[in-house]
Amino acid sequence: MRILGIETSCDETAAAVVEDGTTILSSVVASQLDTHGKYGGVVPELASREHLRAIVPVVREALDSAKTCLGDLAAIAVTAGPGLAGALLVGITYAKALSFARGIPLIGINHIEGHIHAVLLEATREGRAIAYPAVALVASGGHTHLFEVREGFAYRLLGKTRDDAAGEAYDKVAKLLGFSYPGGPVIDRLAPLGNPHAVRFTPARMKGNPLDFSFSGLKTAVLRWVEGHDLAGEIERRRELLRSTPRPSVAQWMAVTPRRTLDLLASFQRTVIDELLRRAAAAAEKIGAETLIVSGGVASNSGLRAAAAEAGLPYAVLFPSPDLATDNAAMIAAAAFPRLMRRERDDFSLAAQANLPLA
């Protein structure tokens, strides 16, 4: 059973063909980095325009490289939310058109459930059974959520960020310091070169739900540190580097980044990782989890992966491979497979839902 997945919730136009929920026959991701990079964040209007340009060739490439024609498809899965409304609409409209023209079942998928399925897909493919209940930590540029996951893909929200998402904190700190967008990958590569204990940031204390996150205080603390240390010169040198070299290497970044700034990045990253893992562990303890699933763009962070491995947690900890951690359409097709098996489908009233909850 082949499912075509389509994902346009943010700044990646993606399409994939996945067989039986586990075998990725193709996965095409067209990034809009060159469009948004110079603004240091995603510009919604530009995202919609770029999706419109890319959607037809990206879907065609996914079908071609999977040696699949529309007639072979058992379903078309498309991200219905959460995400940017205009961006979601491009994928949904195209999915509906294909579905209508060829009479192929349409299945709307929650983007966050997609991120969780990125991990389930790989585990199933490798023949590893997931022990439930599980806790899923989904951390990306748009969300930082903790869910309880039960057998049969039932979800319960345990906690979420009250302000910035973890990836958003990376992106904002990178922008503030003159690094490239998105901030996660560059900070991930530079943080190991600094001392993670050099700058002390106070962990966020949450009133109410202790499983909620907050990252805006940390971002402000980094801003205060920068203001107190006269970094204007080096920030300008990094911005200059970015103007002349769209994708600088680690060595090029290091040439314009003094030790104290590497220490700042290392300390920032350590704080984010501590916050994520501390609450994930508390959530796992609360529900007696047998498995911790970590997914979303931030799950590709090497420091987070190492810290989770070193923590010696008393349950399985599963990360997706890096390609499946960031936005892609294979995870959307995989999430649709159990729904297809249950004969669930959507009709043409399927709408873009910018704040679609997962419950």
Window of 168-176, 243-251, 252-260, 346-354 that interacts with ligand KG4 by CB under 6 A:
168-176
Q: How many CB atoms lie within 10 A of CB 355?
A: 8
Task: In angstroms, give the least distance from the CB of 118 to ligand KG4.
Answer: 9
Antiparallel, parallel or unpaired: β 316-318 and 291-295: parallel
Q: Pick from Zn ion, ligand KG4, none: which does 182 bind, CB < 5 to 8 A by kind?
A: ligand KG4
Q: Which stretch binds Zn ion (CB under 5 A): 18-26, 124-132, 133-141, 314-322?
A: 133-141
- Judge contact between 18 and 25, C-beta under 8 A: yes
Cβ contacts of 89 within 8 Å, gap of 6 or more: 48, 352
The footprint of Zn ion on residues 134-163 (CB under 5 A) is: 140
Helix 111-125 and helix 330-341: axis angle, to 10°?
Answer: 80
Phi and psi for 136 in degrees, rounded to 5? -110, 125
d(CA 111, CA 296): 10
Question: How many residues of this chain interact with ligand KG4, rule: CB under 6 A?
Answer: 20
**Rounded least distance, CB 233 to ligand KG4, Å:** 25
**CB-based burial label for 2 (10 Å; 0-12, 13-18, 19+):** middle
Residue 105 binds: one of Zn ion, ligand KG4, none (C-beta under 5 to 8 A by kind) = none
Q: Rounded to whole angstroms, how far apart are CA atoms 213 and 217?
A: 11
Residue closer to ligand KG4 (CB basis): 98 or 330: 330
Contact 239, 177 (CB under 8 A): no
188 binds Zn ion (CB under 5 A): no
Joined tokens for residue 323: 């390609």
79 near Zn ion, judged by CB under 5 A: no
Binding mask 126-165 for ligand KG4 (x = CB under 6 A): --------------xxx-----------------------
224-283 binders of Zn ion (CB under 5 A): none
> For residue 226, what are the contacts with CB-CB under 8 A and spacing of at least 6?
176, 177, 235, 264
Residue 257 binding target from ligand KG4, Zn ion, none, CB below 5 to 8 Å by type: none
Q: Which of 21, 326, 337, 340 binds ligand KG4 (CB under 6 A)?
A: 326
The least CB distance from residue 108 to ligand KG4, in Å, is 17
Side-by-side strand order, sheet with 154-160: 154-160, 144-150, 134-139, 291-295, 316-318
Identify what 159 binds: ligand KG4, Zn ion, none; CB under 5 to 8 Å per kind: none
| C-alpha separations of 146 from 44, 155, 187, 313, 328 in Å | 26, 10, 24, 17, 20
Assess 188 for contact with ligand KG4 (CB under 6 A): yes
Q: Which of 4, 6, 10, 54 binds ligand KG4 (CB under 6 A)?
A: 10
Region 313-342 residues binding Zn ion, contact defined as CB under 5 A: 327
Question: N- to C-terminal Cα distance for the chain?
Answer: 26
Of 217 and 303, the one with the shorter C-beta distance to ligand KG4 is 303
Q: Which of 113, 171, 275, 346 binds ligand KG4 (CB under 6 A)?
A: 171
Tokens read off for 249: 């290497």
Residues in 241-300 that interact with ligand KG4 by CB under 6 A: 296-298, 300
H-run or E-run covering 108: strand 106-110
DSSP annotation of 161 reads B
Is 295 a binding residue for Zn ion by CB under 5 A? The answer is no
Helix (H) or strand (E) holding 124: helix 111-125
Comparing CB distances to ligand KG4, the nearer of 99 and 295 is 295
In the complex with ligand KG4, which residue's Cβ is closer, 44 or 133?
44
**Interacting residues toward ligand KG4 by CB under 6 A:** 10, 140-142, 167-168, 170-171, 182-185, 188, 296-298, 300-301, 326-327
**Interacting residues toward Zn ion by CB under 5 A:** 140, 327
